[in-house]
């Protein structure tokens, strides 16, 4: 029987994230939200102090640390060692203090473009998520183009995974993420969802982050991000069937249910 996928709850300590910007800037509210997500089934909380929505501007290291460190310290003291705290960051200057404060995982949308990030993950023996993105948050949706999006994403992630291993990170600590919505059109995203098995065949744990993404609104004719919970659950079901290891979501309870039902169906013995 396959291992049950893990749920990563999203905790954006930002004023401008696309779906929940400003909701959890206050440390007390952030901690309450994290506690709720754990109660609903999250075993990882992903804490970020910089928005990666399309068109987002970079945030200084000092500002990011001021946002995330109090939350990480409080959650580590409250939750103990059973819950993984992930730092969502692109530079080691943010990730290193976060790990010192209690983070146990790195989520890097730039896939280790800062060489210090791979060295940090290796030296501290923490898992690192390496994500595919065409361009940067400021420019990624300008006109993304691919000849074969699934093949190009897989090739990139295979290469980044090998670079991480060469830096001393064991393969089980290298997690890959296709970067749904990061430098991709609606059809690119749907093509990746259709071929999630190709990502799972690369030999690394795979994380899927589709939660409330704009492309699903275009499919479902919804303009309000928070109305895309059902759409997100559909992608969680697809991911469970394909073999995804981690689902990064805002709505933990609903996606946990979708994952558990799909997993139960997979476990039924063949006639």
Active site positions, annotated: 213, 248
Beta-carbon contacts of 10 under 8 Å, excluding residues fewer than 6 positions away, are: 20, 46, 211, 248, 249, 250
Helix (H/G/I), strand (E/B), else coil: 124: helix
Whole-number Å distance between alpha carbons of 122 and 168? 5
Read off φ and ψ for residue 61, nearest 5 degrees: -60, -45
Distances (CA, A) of 154 to 158, 183, 195: 6, 15, 10
In 3D space, the residue among 111, 134, 224 whose CA is nearest the CA of residue 181 turns out to be: 134
Beta-carbon contacts of 187 under 8 Å, excluding residues fewer than 6 positions away, are: none
| Residue 198 near residue 178 (C-beta atoms within 8 A) | no
Structure tokens at 115: 């060489």
Helix (H/G/I), strand (E/B), else coil: 39: helix
Whole-number Å distance between alpha carbons of 41 and 97? 27
Q: What is the DSSP letter of 182?
A: S
Read off φ and ψ for residue 73, nearest 5 degrees: -60, -45
């Amino acid at each position: 029987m396959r291992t049950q996928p893990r749920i990563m709850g999203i905790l954006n300590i930002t004023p401008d994230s696309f779906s929940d910007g400003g909701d959890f800037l206050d440390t007390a509210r952030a901690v309450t939200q994290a506690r709720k997500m754990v109660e609903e089934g999250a075993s990882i909380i992903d804490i970020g102090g910089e928005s990666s929505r399309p068109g987002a501007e970079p945030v200084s290291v000092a500002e990011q640390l001021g946002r995330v460190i109090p939350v990480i310290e409080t959650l580590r003291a409250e939750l103990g060692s059973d819950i993984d705290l992930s730092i969502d960051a692109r530079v080691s200057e943010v990730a290193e203090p976060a790990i010192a404060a209690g983070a146990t995982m790195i989520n890097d949308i730039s896939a280790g473009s800062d060489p210090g990030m791979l060295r940090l993950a290796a030296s501290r023996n923490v898992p690192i998520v390496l994500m595919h993105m065409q361009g940067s948050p400021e420019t990624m949706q300008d006109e993304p183009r691919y000849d074969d999006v699934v093949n190009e994403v897989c090739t990139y992630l295979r290469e980044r995974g090998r670079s991480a291993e060469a830096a001393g990170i064991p393969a089980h600590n290298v997690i890959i993420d296709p970067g749904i919505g990061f430098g991709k059109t609606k059809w690119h995203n749907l093509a990746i969802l259709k071929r999630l098995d190709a990502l799972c065949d690369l030999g690394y744990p795979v994380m899927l982050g589709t939660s409330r993404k704009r492309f699903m609104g275009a499919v479902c004719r919804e303009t309000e991000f928070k109305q895309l919970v059902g759409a997100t659950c559909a992608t969680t079901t697809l991911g469970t069937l394909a073999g995804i290891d981690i689902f990064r979501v805002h709505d933990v309870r609903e996606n946990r249910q979708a994952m558990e039902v799909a997993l139960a169906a997979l476990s039924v013995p063949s006639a």
